[in-house]
Each structure stands twice: as structure tokens, then as C-alpha cells.
Structure 1
Amino acid sequence: MELFLRSRKFEMIRTTFCILVVFALAGIPVMESRPKTQAGIKYSALNCRKHRAVITDFGAVGDGKTSNTKAFREAIIKLSPMAADGGVQLIVPPGKWLTGSFNLTSHFTLFIQKGAILLASQDESEYPVVPPLPSYGRGRDAPGPRFASLISGTNLTDVIITGNNGTINGQGKYWWAKFKSGGFKSITRPYLIEILFSNNLQISNVTLINSPSWHIHPVYSNNVIVKGVTILAPIDSPNTDGINPDSCTNTLIEDCYIVSGDDCIAVKSGWDEYGIKFAMPTQQLSIRRLTCISPDSAGVALGSEMSGGIKDVRIEDTTLIQTQSAIRIKTAVGRGGYVKDIFARRLTMKTMKYVFWMSGAYNQHVDDKWDPKALPVVTNINYRDMTAENVTIAARLEGIKKDPFTGICMSNVSISLAPKAKKLQWNCTDIAGVTSKVTPKPCSLLPEKEKPVDCAFPEDKIPIESVVMKKCIA
């Protein structure tokens, strides 16, 4: 009997060994142990997925020290055929997953579980160098190319980055220090997430912290949702914009909380002659239920790179705390393009330097080839139903000589001033418009309407606002 049992045990060991060898030869990942995933997590998404994989299936190690760049890149390559067959989701379980840049694929969900932290590598060699964007002509930091973003993608359809509040940490301190010391003379820092030329993009329910530069940059894309995202960076960190929709159509940004060293949201569409030639506007953009803290920048900036045009932007139900300005329009001679049909309502502001700020002299140019005859058009700008407390200056509105900003409307706006507020509250040049029920009293270029009016706000919805999310399980 004892001999029989020893024989059976030997056969089981041999059989198991043979199976493992076959799996290995076939390239099928076999893990003796891996981090426990949070099974059965429900989430909302544009689309659910037929297939599921875990990053540990591809050899990733969540110790915060081991580079997993190869694991993430191989995972995307091997899962791409499955993505074409009903979609696939790649699960990042709890742990600290150090990685450099990697590209996503179509019909794909990157699901970052609670307790999971993607740590962006500070090793420059783990970021491919890519050409400047065609609508910019150069990198944003410096002439020349750019480091690829941590998470990138081009020409994709149906891409989702989500989770149950997992984290992507850009570990930006290294990049900020080198940038401030002039170390990037011919190359631009990586962003955290940048998706180009794509359709149906969702970024939701994740926390992004300390990007080397901009945090979320959808560019040349359509049908974009950024929802329930928390973005955190030190208020003195350079160019750590929160969300920058750039030459995008039909975009919804809602229920986001942003603390940053630059604009919480910066709407863009290309720079000078390159943006004019590329001619792709940002349009049909809805921003709602945003909370922003940015002492040195704007809650929502329109420009300064706006040479492809910005139109039909709706901003509502937004809270701004210790933020330099609420909605800032930034442009200059040479930009061309337009900023028009801008609508904002129900903004609550506390401790602001400016409430309204428009600048026609934001003279940062790509090169010396900009056209002095390329004048921007700024018109039909509507602000209504706003309150602001502890304000230093109500408005700084500076258009362009012989190219004034027109069609400005402000109604039902109450601004209470800080104890050390400036004596001149409305600084207005080269603008035209009207006001109704605005305090303190506006400048003479914005006369009070005799009969109270409400500035316009569209009654229709942009298409992305009507999208119904599906209930999915990770």
C-alpha cells in the first residue's frame, strides 16, 4: 500500500510538471501565487469587456522597486487580439507598480483597483521620444521633441481608464527640479495621460497625483468623458495642469476635484501658425461640478494655445477656492483662431485674486514665424448667476487694440471684496458688452442694461451628456 501511494504521488508530481512545461512552451502565463484581486467590483463604463486579465499574469511585481514597463507593454501586445473579440480589461491589483511609458489599445479597459498605485518611473530611458504635436510645431517646454506620456495611445477606439479609486502617481519631483534648473533645453517633459486621434475615451474614478507636467491631455479626439477624477499636485509645481482638452469635439468633464500648480482645466487648440494650419477646434465642451484650488492660475483657462478655435463651451455648478481667477481667456496677436460662444453659470468663488480675467497680450510664441496679421476673435462670452467672496480685483479685461473682445455679457453677479482689495476694481480696455445686476459697479465699457436681463446659457445638451453608461464588473 505504501509503495502504491508513493507511486501515485510521483505520477501526480510528474503530471503537474509536464503541464507546467506545456504552458510555458505555449507562452501561457502560469503564476504559483499573485496578489489577490478585488473580485466582482461593479463600475460604470461606455462598454463592458468580454475578457479579463491581471497584470501579474505578465510577470509584474508590485513592490514599488521592480520596473514593470516590459510587463505592461507585453500585456497590451498579447491582449490586443482578445480586445478585438469583445474587448478586454487589464486589472491592476493592490500594490505599487513601477512603470515607464506604455501604449493602450482599442476596446480596452485599464482598471486600477483601490490600493493599487501606478508609480511613474523617473528613469528617462523608459520614456520613448516622440515628435511634437502637429498643431504646436514644437514641444510645450522647449523646441524639439517630447517624452511620451506615461499612458499613451493613438488612433484608438473605445478606451477606458478607470477603477475604484486606484492611483496613478507621476512622481513629478524629479522632473520639476530638472525643469526649474533648465535641464530640459530641447525636450518636453512627459504628461501622465495623453490620447491622440481617438474616439470614445473615458477616464473615471481614479486619483492622479504629481504628474511631471499636464495630468490628462486628450488631443484631436472625439467623444471624451472625464468623470469622478481627483487630481492633486503641489500648488508651486510647474505646469501641472489638471485636464487639457485640446482640439477635441464632444467632451464632458464632470464631478472632478483638482488642486494644481497651474490651470485646473486648460482648453486648447494649437499654437500660432501651426494651430491655424491644423485648424481643428475644441468644441462642444461641457464642464460641470468642478472643484478647483490653484492660487497661481485659473479654474478654467481658454487658451493661450487656441489658434484652431474654441467654441461652444458650457461651464456650470463649479466651486473655486483660493484660485487666481475663475475663467481666464488668454490669447495674443499672432494666435488667429477664435474664442466664442462661451457660457458659464452658477459659479461659487472664495478668496480670488480676479473673478473675470481676459488677456489679449499673452505673447508666448512658438517661433519668429508667427503672423502679426493673425488676430484672434473673442466674442459672445456669457457669465451669469455667480457669487464671489474675499476678492482682490473684480475684473481685468484687456482686449487687443483694433481687435476688441465683443459680446461680453454678465448678469446676476455678486462680488464681495477682500479687506485689502485694490481701489480700481474694473480694469477694462478694448472690450465691449453689457451687464445686469452686477456688483461692484462695472466699468463704462460694460454698461448696465436699463431692463434686467439674463445672459445666455444653452437649453440643449451636447451629445456626450446624453450617453447612458453600462453597468460592468471588473
Structure 2
Amino acid sequence: MFGFAMMESRIESSYKGIEYEALNCRKHRAILPDFGAIGDGKTSNTKAFREAVSKLTPLAADGGVQLIVPPGKWLTGSFNLTSHFTLFIQQGATILASQDESEYPMLPRLPSYPDARFASLIYGSNLTDVVITGDKGTINGQGKSWWLKYRSGGFANISRPLLIEIVFSKNIQISDINLIDSPMWNIHPVYCKNVIIKNIKIDAPIDSPNTDGINPDSCTNTLIEDCNITSGDDCIAVKSGIDQYGISTGIPTQQLSIRRLTCVSPHSAGVALGSEMSGGIKDVRIEDVTLINTESAIRIKTGIGRGGYVKDIFARRFTMKTMKFVFWMTGSYALHPTGKALPEVSNINYRDMTAENVTISAQLEGIENHPFKGICMSNVTIALSPITKKMQWNCTDVAGVTSRVKPEPCSLLPDKGTKLDCDFPTDKIPIESVVLKKCYA
């Protein structure tokens, strides 16, 4: 059995291995096989992962601890993380998600959602200072069996496992790993503060159900950068809970920066705002985005009954190729006839964008007698595909202005001349100023 004495002998200051950047380096380190794990892709290592975290937890308060996953295929069910902890997945290592449902405990619903859920493959709650990183190691969710059961009517009112879910935590980093075939969403920080997600490659079939890439949910001060996502759903979906659950919880997503994103999602958005936005979404900055064969750029999704707000959204420098829509806003998404709470959508800014091979320039649908307002678009050039819709701008219940936008926008977004540039903040959110430390695994 792996003893504390051996763990304490692995001191970061005397060990130089794989260099990586992290919020914090760790004094102690351990290697997964020391806990009896076998990387043959067939043997279950759920017990080994859980035991590793359990035995390393007492050391976490003494300078932190890292668990190294070496090359191999490490089959496992759900396991929890601990504070002051780094999970490092080496190149050539794959954490292989078990397809056995019994390996994923059932968890109660999140406060801002109605459904119970399976525990995620990698899970943590009420933690501080957690790093999940590597040198391009892989987490493979083996999602096909989950997708097939879902399509056949399984999992009614139960959410499938995610690959990574961190809840009610702060100072979180997820970086430099590959994620493949998640059963559902890939990365879900929820009710978290101070989150960095960077250099992540996510890949799922373009027809896989609900395989969103990264879903910041009721989080404050989050940076998502340098990610490459191919998905069957939204590449990034910004959320804050649903209907009365999200309204009563009342935790918004705010201070969010998304930059240098590359996305392929033929059936969904590059960045979606909502539809679960009942706790509010505000102060979102999105820049330097490349979208290829994607249904829409930024899609605002909401409806009567959602309540909440989407406001103070700023986007610039988008390059788009082969799009169904460039601009898409929906005020009738998933209507809720028993709910009457009206969402507010305001101060939405888009600038410096080019798109080619586009079917429809804009579909902008607000709410009757409650329009989406403060929409601004400037310096946008859209080149249409050979087969296009005759009506390029379909606008109802919206209000705003435009400048240097081609094709010519709808009358609800009048041209205000060549001198107008839509807003983009000049300040930074706090997480953008964080300098990562040089560490070793």
C-alpha cells in the first residue's frame, strides 16, 4: 500500500520533470499506479482513483499535492477531487470513462435546476485551488452508449454524466488536455469564482446529443482562451439556471472573457447565451473567434418564463466560414406557459466581423411588447452563399443601431453613419491579469 512516507519523499523542489503552468505548484506528488491502478483499458481503476485522492487529501494542506496519470489507458468511473490538488494527465495517458452506470453515483439536483443527475466523471464541490491539466493527455468519455440510450428515451429527468463538473468552488484551472466523446456536456463549472479554462481541445461527433463544449454556469470571473471545439451542440454555452429554480437561486454569470476560440458545430452556436439564463448573464467579452461550418455565431436563447437577463455583451473580431446564421436571437425558445417572468435582453454589442458562405444574415426575434434593446453592430461584412434566403434580415421586437454593416440591416436597426463603433471594454476582468507559475510534474 502506498504510504505517507513515500508520498512525502516526492518533493516538488527536488524533482524536475514535465514543465507546465499552473495557479499553484505542489510540494507533494504521487503516481496513479502507486495505488494499484492498471492502465490496460480493461481493468476498472475507480477504486484506485478514489483511494488516491482520499490518501493524498491530508497532504494537500501542507503545500498541495499532485496526482500524475502516466501513459496508458486508465478505465474508471466517477471520482471526486480535493482542494490544493493537481490532476496531471501525461501525454499518452487516457482517462477512459466507464460505461457502467453503477460507477456514477446519483446526485441531487443543483439549486438552479430541476433534475437529478449522475455524478460527473471528474467531480468536485466546495473546493479551493484545483488544477486539472497535462501535456495533452486525454479524457475519453466513451459517450456512444449514453447517446444511444438517450435517443431511445432513456434518462428521463436525469442528466447524463459530464466529463468535468466543479461546483461551489474557487480558484480553478482546467488546461492543456484533450476531451473526447463526453456522454453530455464536457466542462461545467457552476457557482464558481476565479476560473481559467485554456488550451483545451474538445471533440465529439457533430450529431451527438447535448455534447456542449464548455458551460460556465452562475460563475464569476472566468477566462476561457485558446480552445478548439468540435461539438454536436454549442461550443460554449453560458448559463445561470432555469426558470423559477434559476430565479430563486439568483447567481448570475458575470465577468466572463472568451478569446481565441475555434469552433465547428453545424447544428448549434459558437457561443450561446442561455437558454438557461434565469439567474442573469452580464459583462461577457468575446473576441478573436474563428467559426467554421457552425449554425450561428453568438445565439441569445430565452423565452417567457425564463426571467433573468442577458446584458452588457461585447463581441469583436470574428471570422466565419459557412454559417446558417451570423446573428441569431430567440425570444421564444422553449416556451413555458405556466411561467410569466420576462427576460431582459439589452446592451448587445457586435463589431469587426467577417463571414462568408452565409445562408441568413440575421434572425432577431425579441418578445412582443418587451423588445430586445440596445443592439449595436458595426463594421460587419457578410458574404452570402450561392443558395440564400431572400429575406436576409428577419427582425421582430428588437431595437438598436448599425454602422458599416453589409448586407443592409432591417429597419429596426437603422444605419447611424460611418463614425459609430460599438462598445468593447478597455479594462480587464481580474482573472485576465493572473500570472501562472512554472511547475513540474
- Measured against the shorter chain, the TM-score band is over 0.9
Aligned residue for 1:358, secondary structure, equals: strand
Choose which of 119, 126, 130 in structure 2 pairs with 1:159.
130
Report the CA distance between 1:28 and its aligned residue.
7.2
Q: Structure 2 vs 1, CA of residues 87 and 28 (structure 1 numbering), >3 Å: closer, same or farther?
A: closer
> In 1, Cα distance between the equivalents of 2:48 and 2:20?
25
> In 1, Cα distance between the equivalents of 2:234 and 2:415?
31
Choose which of 346, 352, 356 in structure 2 pairs with 1:389.
356
Report the CA distance between 1:266 and its aligned residue.
0.1
Structure 1 contact 397–427 (Cα < 8 Å) conserved: yes
> In 2, Cα distance between the equivalents of 1:112 and 1:209?
14
Report the CA distance between 1:188 and its aligned residue.
1.7
Q: Structure 1 vs Structure 2: percent identity of aligned residues?
A: 75
Aligned residue for 1:319, secondary structure, equals: strand
RMSD of the alignment, in Å? 1.4
> In 2, Cα distance between the equivalents of 1:148 and 1:450?
53
Partner of 1:371: 339
Pick which of 337-346 and 128-137 moved more: 128-137
Aligned residue for 1:72, secondary structure, equals: helix
Partner of 1:19: none
Partner of 2:251: 280
Structure 2 residue 440 is the aligned partner of structure 1 residue 473: yes
Deviations 1:250-272 (A, max 9, x none): 00000000000000000000000
Q: For 1:27-426, what aligned pairs fall within 5 Å after superposition?
A: 40-138=17-115, 145-363=116-334, 365=336, 370-372=338-340, 374-426=341-393
Structure 1 contact 29–58 (Cα < 8 Å) conserved: no
Bigger radius of gyration among the two: 1
> In 2, Cα distance between the equivalents of 1:317 and 1:177?
36
> In 2, Cα distance between the equivalents of 1:137 and 1:471?
42
Give the alignment's TM-score, normalised by structure 2.
0.97
Aligned residue for 1:161, secondary structure, equals: strand
The structure that is strand-richer by fraction is 2
Aligned residue for 1:408, secondary structure, equals: strand
Aligned residue for 1:273, secondary structure, equals: helix
| AA of the residue aligned to 2:193 | N
| AA of the residue aligned to 1:352 | M
Segments of 5+ residues of structure 1 without an aligned counterpart are 1-22, 31-37, 139-144
Structure 1 contact 437–452 (Cα < 8 Å) conserved: no
Report the CA distance between 1:450 and its aligned residue.
3.2
Aligned residue for 1:322, secondary structure, equals: strand
Report the CA distance between 1:416 and its aligned residue.
0.3
Report the CA distance between 1:184 and its aligned residue.
1.5
Partner of 1:17: none
Task: Work out the number of aligned pairs and report it.
Answer: 434
Q: Structure 2 vs 1, CA of residues 186 and 382 (structure 1 numbering), >3 Å: closer, same or farther?
A: closer
> In 1, Cα distance between the equivalents of 2:250 and 2:432?
25
Deviations 1:386-416 (A, max 9, x none): 0000000000000000110000000000000
Deviations 1:342-401 (A, max 9, x none): 000000000000000000000255xx7x531x1000000000000000000000000000
Q: Structure 2 vs 1, CA of residues 194 and 383 (structure 1 numbering), >3 Å: closer, same or farther?
A: same
Report the CA distance between 1:39 and its aligned residue.
6.4
Report the CA distance between 1:438 and its aligned residue.
0.2
> In 1, Cα distance between the equivalents of 2:157 and 2:395?
38
Deviations 1:133-158 (A, max 9, x none): 110122xxxxxx21100000000000
Aligned residue for 1:114, secondary structure, equals: coil
